[in-house]
């Protein structure tokens, strides 16, 4: 782009000068304007490249944030599943403890209802 502008400006200046329609000062002014246009174009290209780089960086940051959000969501789901499994285990343990308690109470009640066993000495019959 820079070469295109510079070459076109020089050709225009040379054509105007060669046809005798322009003075040396006018050609110099056209050349200076062409140089300014080239400088502005280069600055605009640099600014566009910098903006593109910043846009790429912002895009990468957004992708990283999206990945982090997905990872956090997966971790939260796993934590919820673990909590649900722990709750189910606690409920099973509670039911087992209640069953053991009921069994112990039944055994205690049965022990209280049985008459005491008598021991017989050797040779005795009951």
pLDDT digits (tens), the chain, 126 positions: 545 555 566 565 555 555 556 678 888 888 899 899 999 999 999 999 999 999 999 999 999 999 999 999 999 999 999 999 999 999 999 999 999 999 999 998 888 886 666 666 666 665
Determine, yes or no, domain membership for 106: no
Q: What is the pLDDT of residue 118?
A: 65
Report d(CA 50, CA 44) in Å as an integer.
10
**101 domain residue, yes or no:** no
Tell me if 114 is assigned to some domain.
no
Q: Is position 52 within any domain?
A: no
Supply 79's token pair: 């934590």
How many structural domains does the chain have?
1
Judge contact between 28 and 21, C-beta under 8 A.
no
- Could you report how far apart the first and last alpha carbons of the chain are, in Å? 123
Position 100 in a domain = no
- Asked whether residue 19 is assigned to any structural domain, the reply reads yes
Distances (CA, A) of 114 to 34, 65, 110, 119: 119, 73, 6, 15
Range of the domain at 9: 1-46
Tokens of 43: 């600055």
- Record the pTM: 0.51
56 is a domain residue? no
């Amino acid at each position: 782009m820079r070469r295109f502008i510079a070459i076109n400006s020089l050709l225009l200046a040379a054509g105007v000068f060669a046809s005798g329609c322009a003075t040396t000062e006018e050609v110099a002014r056209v050349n200076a304007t062409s140089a300014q246009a080239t400088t502005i174009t280069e600055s605009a290209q640099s600014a566009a490249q910098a903006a593109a780089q910043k846009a790429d960086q912002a895009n990468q940051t957004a992708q990283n944030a999206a990945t982090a959000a997905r990872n956090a969501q997966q971790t939260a789901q796993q934590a919820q599943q673990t909590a649900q499994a722990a709750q189910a285990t606690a409920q099973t343990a509670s039911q087992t403890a209640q069953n053991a308690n009921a069994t112990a109470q039944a055994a205690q009640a049965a022990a209280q209802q049985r008459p005491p066993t008598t021991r017989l000495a050797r040779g005795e019959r009951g």
